[in-house]
Structure 1
Amino acid sequence: MLPLCHDDELSALLQFKESRISGDFYAWKFDCRPTMASWKPEEGSVDCCSWDDVHCNKNTGHVIKLDLSHSCLFGSIDSSSSLSKLVHLEWLNLALNDFNSSEIPPEIINLSRLSYLNLSGTSLSGQIPSEILKLSNLVSLDLSLNDVPGSRVELQKPSFENLVEKLSNLKTLDLGDVSIDSMIPHNIGNLSSLTFVSLQNCELQGRIPSSIGNLSKLLHLDISLNELQGELPISVGNLHSLKELDLSANFLSSNLLGSIGNLRSLEAIYMSECNFSGQITSSLRNLTELVVLDMAQNSYGGTIELVLGLSLNRLSMLTKATSNTTSQKIQYIGLRSCNLTKFPHFLENQRDMVVLDLSDNRIEGKVPKWLLDPNMHNLNALNLSHNLLTGFDQHPILLPGNNGDLVTFDLSSNNLQGPLPVPPPGTVNYLAFSSSLTGEIPSWICNLNILESLVLSHNNLSGLLPQCLGNFSNELSVLDLQGNNFSGTIPNTFTKESRLGVMDLSHNLFQGRIPRSLINCSKLEFLGLGNNQISDTFPSWLGSLPKLNVVILRSNIFYGIIEEPRTGCGFSKFRIIDLSDNRFTGKLPSKSFLCWNAMKIVNASELRYLQDVLCLKGRMMTYNKIPDILAGIILSNNSFDGAISASIENLKGLQVLNLQNNNLQGHIPSCLGNLTNLESLDLSNNKFSGQIPQQLVQLTFLAFFNVSDNCLAGLIPQGKQFATFDNTSLDRNSGFCGRPLSKECESGEPPTIEDHT
């Protein structure tokens, strides 16, 4: 009969459980698994060795291994942590939890038998305690991914040199994102058992020591995102077992690669953003095992052709030789921003490429036939964006890729002409914006039933949209066709399964009404229909969409009044509404101002669609939709009348308010002075009367102000931002007096409100 776990260890585990927040809420929030939920003391004998992720020695019953990675743990881990009582532990993994910026407790010294310690991604901070150097049995140490905003884990006292000296048995060392702020110590060469080293983003400086060549068992070396300088030491050529080398984002010399040719086992090398230029050494020809090559953001120019041709022509042979033993052999070639002017010919024989990135170069002419070869069945990412390409050297234009693959194509920002290239049915992202493509969207679009992003904006495309456009893919989240010549009506075929989040059809020739089936798009966040010929009333019915925060309807033929909500509230997530240049009438939607809750929030975080939707190696896509405004109401050039309701003061987060060129009347409400986040206020060309409220001086962020062409009079507010506005912002209001005008007020100069901030 196997021994039960010891009472003191059982008690320590339960105590640790009770001191952590762990449960269904964090499982939902962090997509983790609450392992400790199964740790329950029961009546009678309790064997903690039977609990999930607790492992005991079969002979002694002592807990020797504890794997609580990604277990929904939250809370500080400090000197009172009961884990330090598990003195027989040999293996401890607490990765991917949240220890709330606490420090590694010095009591870790009690775990003197540890050979494996993983605290990566646990939101730790502060200095690594010197007690960790007493864990002389450590074979694997991982403290990476603890770059907490405003604080980092530090290795300075003790120093990196001290750690290397004391932990001489290490085989795996991952200090990624740890603040070391020193040179790589020379004694690192004494860790002769090392197979994995990651020093990514550690603030390392100086030169790479020659002693690193002593690590003859090393398989993986990552020293990227540092400030290392000089040449790679010749001794690196002794790392005959090395399979992956990452030198990216340093300041290394362009002739550093002389010794790399000896690394015959090397399968992946990353050396982007190293400021290399000129000719690369021909020693790269010796890397016959090379599968991944990332040389992005350097300036090799035409010399890249001569030195890479031989080695890369062997890549396909490697893939074929290993295809029977591995599920997928990744092949990545990254030549982004390398100052290329033509397609490198050595790529012509790479039929098994998975990822090819040639973006942000100056490649001219047509896309060659060999790159469109249907035999390139492994391709799942092709990025040719931001070049000078004019077309394709093959018709019809069929993009490569196997039907079973998930494929991304980015052909954007070129001078491509002719019809849209036909992608395989497995396409996930199809990006061809900012070019000169012509013709209609063909019927093959209806076959792309897993498409997530379709971005064809700023081309010369025309014709009617296919009726399937609203329902051909349940996965479609981004539909951007702005800046073309599409006509007719927008298909009314959007389904309840729609995942559409961004829809931009602005700057086209669409007519008719907004399709009512958009009410099915419950995930819609951005709706852009501006600059078309749409004739409809305001779509109040869209107010029930729970995520809708931007609606752009400018420059159409919208008409009528904006109906106020009768029951409840709509558009609670509204942050930007642009109804300018239409034919709206009636009063401003004063009741709606009470409903637009998102505009009531000051300093809201940036909207998601201002970020990159996709930014992976070889799969790059940016979707920057909105200028630097986060909350704006633009109702200019309509026929709104009446007064501005005081309810507008609820919109504390408002940054832009444009009511220019309407028939608004009454006084400018003093409550506008409470909208302290305002940066732009345009009330020009209306029928406002009375004075400019002195309270507007409190709008210290106001950069643009215009009340010209009204019936205003009296004292002009003085001081703060009003001292920066010129006369044009006040023009054609005959009753104004005071600075900056030459007309003085009868009662003398108005008092200046001093700025005491």
Structure 2
Amino acid sequence: MGLSSICLFTIFIRLVFPFFFFNFTIANFTASSMPPLCHDDERSALLQFKENRISGDFYAWKFDCHPTMASWKPEEGNVDCCSWDGVHCNKNTGHVIKLDLSHSCLFGSINSSSSLFKLVHLEWLNLALNDFNSSEIPPEIINLSRLSYLNLSGTSLSGQIPSEILKLSNLVSLDLSLNDVPGGRLELQKPSFVNLVEKLSNLKTLDLGDVSIRSMIPHNIANLSSSMIIFLRNCELQGRIPSSLGNLSKLLHLDLSLNELQGELPVSVGNLHSLAELDLSANFLSSEWPISIGNLSSLKELDLSQNRFFGELPISMGNLGSLKELDLSQNGYVGPFPVPPPGTIHYLASNNNLTGEIPSWICNLNILESLVLSHNNLSGLLPQCLGNFSDELSVLDLQGNNFFGTVPNTFIKESRLGVIDLSHNLFQGRIPRSLINCSKLEFLGLGDNQISDTFPSWLGTLPNLNVLILRSNIFYGIIKEPRTDCGFSKLRIIDLSNNRFTGTLPSKSFLCWNAMKIVNTSELRYLQDVLSPYGQTSNDILSTYDYSMTMNSKGRMMTYNKIPDILAGIILSNNSFDGAIPASIANLKGLQVLNLQSNNLLVELTFLEFFNVSDNHLTGLIPQGKHFATFDNASFDGNSGLCGRPLSKGCESNETPANEDHTEGSEESLFSGASDWKIILIGYAGGLVAGLVLGFNFSTGIIGWILEKLGTQQKATRRRRRRRN
């Protein structure tokens, strides 16, 4: 080889070889730094789990869920399960360590053969808010021995919690709540709560809400010394709260509500200096104000409602300076109105025996969102600041007290008030015109006072007004027909009974009340105001304020503790209206209750195309003349107590029509006198009103039954959504 060849070779080695070496090194480095693909057996297990558990659009309507597993489509080249929605893998090993399928439209039983239990490297599993069709938790859960986080809340599980779950010693978070379903509920009895506390001592979060425990709170609960969150709501816990609870020094949130706990709150609770939320509501606890609570300087939410606490409340709660939510409702507290900390957001103290006036310091609570002091013995004048002291106030409920004087005319522009209930007091004067500033107002209750005014047609400009209660006051004069804009387009319930209104019924107004023209049964909900929580970790005890009201049915006051949004009613009884019942009422197809009793109205229901009240318990004289003469005998069959035309049975001249009350579920008497029949429930057929059924048994019976069945589910759904956020 010549010298020139050697030189060229040397130059090649020096220039080209480093390039190849650099690329080889980079290639090796890149290959070693790339995360491995998921393992074949784990991908197969995931696909097998998907195969029988996804229901797609069928179930999405119920929980508004998202079908996460629908994106798992390996046939489209997406074979790496570590990139699938809800799946997370270890970057070094490629094993699936985290599976988040919460709210993913899963439906179907889960059993011992489920491929889920083949994912033995799982450390984090969230299947919350799905439906496993009343399945039991399979004992094969023990295969997932590496789990530190397990969330099976709201998954329609039932039966005994298996003892194998107590062998998951790495668990730091366990949530089995919201599994109270028609098919049963989860139970923790064999093993017991004592066993769980003993075995899972590393838990930082424990939520067994709605799990049937049926025992006392064990003294060894102090074993959970690392716990920061303990929710034991509605677990059928009994007996006293053990003093050992005070040893949980790291505890931030404690919920023992809706149980059967008795006795006094142990003094040791005052040792929980980190506690931010304490919920003891709906128990049988009984004592004077627990002094130990004054030591909880970090407390932000305190709920002692629905217990048997008694005595006077401390006038200065200064030690609770961090308090945001305070609920003392439904106890036996007496004495003057207590001062909450200045940072209070929700203040609820209804259904006690508090006395005295609302002091002027209330004006300092400038971030208050709800003030509920209903059903006490408070009295005096309202502070003039009450309409403008807080830009955030959304609920003002002072009903059922002895306040007098005029309602302050200080409601501010752009007010956030959605509820104002001042009914059952002694207020006089006129309705304050500054209410026109409350553009978000949905519920206005001024019934059972001594207010003297004409009909407040100007309230019709409020765009969200659903309920207007002016019953039992001194309102007078005629209700004028609207001139231009209709107004009251969202109104569903109006009660003007027991006043001094005169003149004819405003037929054009009935054409304007658009909300009553709609029959909406697609989703049953309550009329309520949502109370914002102080933080994302708060549960939903104070999350809503339900509107409530009473309506008069044949001299009986029917109470609605919750108002369904499908209820529409017009109650105009006990006034001095005259003239004909306008046919425009027939346009209100969503109307369920129309009470016109004790007025001077004529019977001219000429808009009726069909009428049938057969097979009820109706008695008395059928109204004579006019349109009733056009209905045949069959319209009144099965009512042995009815008499008069068109029936052949006449009424004796000295007969006094009966006025019988019947048990709930039957219909009340339709014709119990010449005017009593005017309590009517309007239905429709063929686009026109179809029939008349008397009384409020429909609304208090059928609707009440529906609400009872759906109330728990709705509350659980709210809590689920908040947890998802």
Calculate the TM-score normalised by the size of structure 2. 0.70
Does 2:285 correspond to 1:252? yes
Aligned 8 A contact 2:472 2:496 in 1: yes
Q: CA deviation at 1:539?
A: 6.8
Is 1:418 the counterpart of 2:432? The answer is no
Map 1:32-111 onto structure 2 (within 5 A): 32-111=65-144
SS in 2 for 1:664: coil
Equivalent residue for 1:390, pick from 387, 404, 407:
404
Distance 1:647 1:284, change over 3 A: closer
Aligned residue runs from structure 1 range 295-374, under 5 A: 295-302=328-335, 304-305=336-337, 308-309=338-339, 312=340, 315-316=341-342, 319=343, 331-345=345-359, 347-372=362-387, 374=388
**SS class of match (1:66):** strand
Q: For residue 265 of structure 1, give the secondary structure of its aligned residue in structure 2.
A: coil
Contact 1:258/1:283 (8 A) holds in 2: no
Q: For 1:451-490, list aligned pairs within 5 A.
A: 451-465=465-479, 467=482, 471-472=486-487, 474-487=489-502, 488-490=504-506
**How much does 1:179 deviate?**
1.2
Residue 179 in 1 paired to residue 193 in 2? no
Q: 1:660, 1:682 within 8 Å by CA — same for their partners in 2?
A: no
Q: Does 1:535 pair with 2:577? A: no
Moved more, 165-174 or 529-538: 529-538
The answer to whether the Cα contact below 8 Å between 2:159 and 2:186 also exists between their aligned partners in 1 is yes
* Cα offsets for 1:659-715 (capped at 9, x unmatched): 7343133599xxxxxxxx8677889999xxxxxxxxxxxxxxxxxxxxxxxxxxxxx
* Corresponding residue number in structure 2 for 1:637: 622
Task: Work out whether residues 492 and 568 of structure 2, in 8 Å CA contact, stay in contact via their aligned partners in 1.
Answer: no
- Aligned equivalent of 1:445, options 459, 467, 489: 459
Report the Cα distance in structure 2 between the residues aligned to 1:484 and 1:282, rounded to whole angstroms: 41
C-alpha distance after superposition, 1:591-629 (max 9, x if no partner) = x98xxxxx9xxxxxxxxxxxxxxxxxxxxxxxxxxxxxx
Q: Within 2, Cα distance between the matches of 1:167 and 1:155?
A: 14
Q: Which residue of 2 is the match for residue 616 of structure 1?
A: none
Alpha-carbon distance, 1:235 to partner:
2.2
State which of 490, 498, 503 in structure 1 corresponds to 2:514. 498
Shift of residue 643, structure 1, vs aligned partner: 5.2
| Kept after mapping to 2: 8 A contact 1:257/1:283 | no
DSSP-derived class of the 2:275 partner: coil
What whole-Å deviation, never above 9, does each CA across 1:518-563 have from its counterpart, x for those lacking one? xxxx9785455667435257679549x4x55555566732336675
Q: Partner residue of 2:717?
A: none
**Aligned partners of 1:379 and 1:400 also within 8 Å:** no
Any unmatched runs of 5+ in structure 1?
Answer: 320-329, 508-521, 566-588, 594-598, 600-630, 650-656, 669-676, 687-757
Contact 2:357 2:381 in 1 (8 A): no
Return the letter of the residue paired with 1:439: D
Q: Cα distance, 1:148 vs. partner?
A: 2.0
How far apart are 1:128 and its partner, in Å? Answer: 1.0
Structure 1 residues 523 and 261, CA gap change in structure 2 (3 angstroms): closer
Measure how far apart 1:7 and its partner are: 2.8
* Cα 1:646–1:168 shift into 2, 3 Å: same
Instruction: Decide whether aligned partners of structure 1 residues 56 and 502 sit closer, same or farther in structure 2, where only a CA change above 3 A counts.
Output: same
Contact 1:377/1:400 (CA < 8 Å) preserved in 2?
Answer: no
Structure 1 CA distance for aligned equivalents of residues 53 and 66 of structure 2 = 14
Q: Of residues 410, 432, 438 in structure 1, which corresponds to 2:446?
A: 432
Partner Cα distance (2:299, 2:188) in 1: 30
Question: Residues 124 and 301 (structure 1 numbering): CA distance in 2 closer, same or farther, change over 3 Å?
Answer: same
What is the CA distance between 1:44 and its match in structure 2? 4.1
CA–CA separation in structure 2 for the residues paired with 1:162 and 1:265? 31
Q: Which residue of 2 aligns with 1:119?
A: 152
Q: How far did 1:220 drift?
A: 0.7
Partner residue of 2:642 out of 645, 650, 660: 660
Task: Say yes or no: does 1:261 pair with 2:329.
Answer: no
User: What is the alpha-carbon distance in structure 1 between the residues aligned to residue 620 and residue 39 of structure 2?
Assistant: 73
User: 1:129 aligns to what?
Assistant: 162
Shift of 1:83: 1.8
C-alpha distance in 2, partners of 1:13/1:124?
A: 21
**Are 1:12 and 2:28 counterparts?**
no
Q: Which moved more, 1:443-452 or 1:530-539?
A: 530-539
Compared with structure 1, are the counterparts of its residues 560 and 404 closer, same or farther at alpha carbon in structure 2 (3 Å cutoff)? Answer: closer
Q: Quick one: distance in 2 between partners of 1:48 and 1:495?
A: 60
Q: Give the alignment of 1:513-592 within 5 angstroms.
A: 525-526=568-569, 532-536=577-581, 542=587, 545=589, 547-550=590-593, 556-559=601-604, 564=609, 589=611
Please report how far the alpha carbon of residue 161 of structure 1 lies from its aligned counterpart in structure 2 after TM superposition.
0.7
Query: What amino acid does structure 1 have at the position aligned with 2:255?
Result: D
**1:711-732 deviation per Cα after TM superposition (whole angstroms, max 9, x unaligned):** xxxxxxxxxxxxxxxxxxxxxx
CA apart distance, 1:184:
0.9
What do you get for the CA RMSD once the two structures are aligned?
3.8
CA contact (8 A) 2:443 2:465 kept: yes
Instruction: Confirm or deny: 8 A CA contact 2:134 2:183 kept in the other structure.
Output: no
**Residue 120 (structure 1) shift:** 1.6
Shift in alpha-carbon separation, 1:389–1:406, aligned structure 2, 3 A: closer
Question: Which amino acid is the alignment partner of residue 57 of structure 1?
Answer: N
Cα distance in 2 for partners of 1:537, 1:354 equals 42
Gap change, CA 1:537 and 1:490, over 3 Å in 2: closer
Q: 2:394 corresponds to which residue?
A: 380
| 1:453 Cα deviation after fit | 2.5
- Counterpart secondary structure, 1:42: helix
Q: How does 1:135-154 map to 2 (within 5 A)?
A: 135-149=168-182, 151-154=184-187
Code of the aligned partner of 1:558: V
Q: Deviation per CA, 1:344-395, whole angstroms, max 9, x where unpaired?
A: 43535333322111100122232232434x2322211111001122223x7x
Name the amino acid aligned to 1:398. Answer: N
Report 1:574-653 matches (<5 A): 589=611, 637-639=622-624, 640=628, 644-645=633-634
Change (3 A) 1:537 1:211: closer
Structure 2 residue runs of 5 or longer lacking an equivalent are 1-33, 520-548, 553-564, 651-664, 675-725
Secondary structure in 2 matching 1:363: strand
Contact 1:499 1:524 in 2 (8 A): no
Query: 2:233 maps to what in 1?
Result: 200
Q: Distance in 2 between matches of 1:202 and 1:106?
A: 22
- AA paired with 1:459? N
Helix, strand or coil: the match of 1:32? coil
One-letter identity of the residue aligned with 2:391: H
Q: Check conservation: 1:465, 1:491, Cα contact below 8 A.
A: no
Residues 400, 163 of structure 1: CA spacing in aligned structure 2 closer, same or farther, 3 A cutoff? farther
The one-letter amino acid of 1:38's match is: S
Whole-angstrom CA distance in 2 between matches of 1:647 and 1:82: 64
Paired with 1:537 and 1:450, the residues of 2 have a C-alpha distance of: 26
Name the CA shift for 1:553/1:258 in 2 (closer, same or farther; >3 Å): closer
Change (3 A) 1:632 1:76: farther
Partner Cα separation in structure 2 for residue 685 and residue 451 of structure 1 = 35
- Tell me the matched-pair count: 572
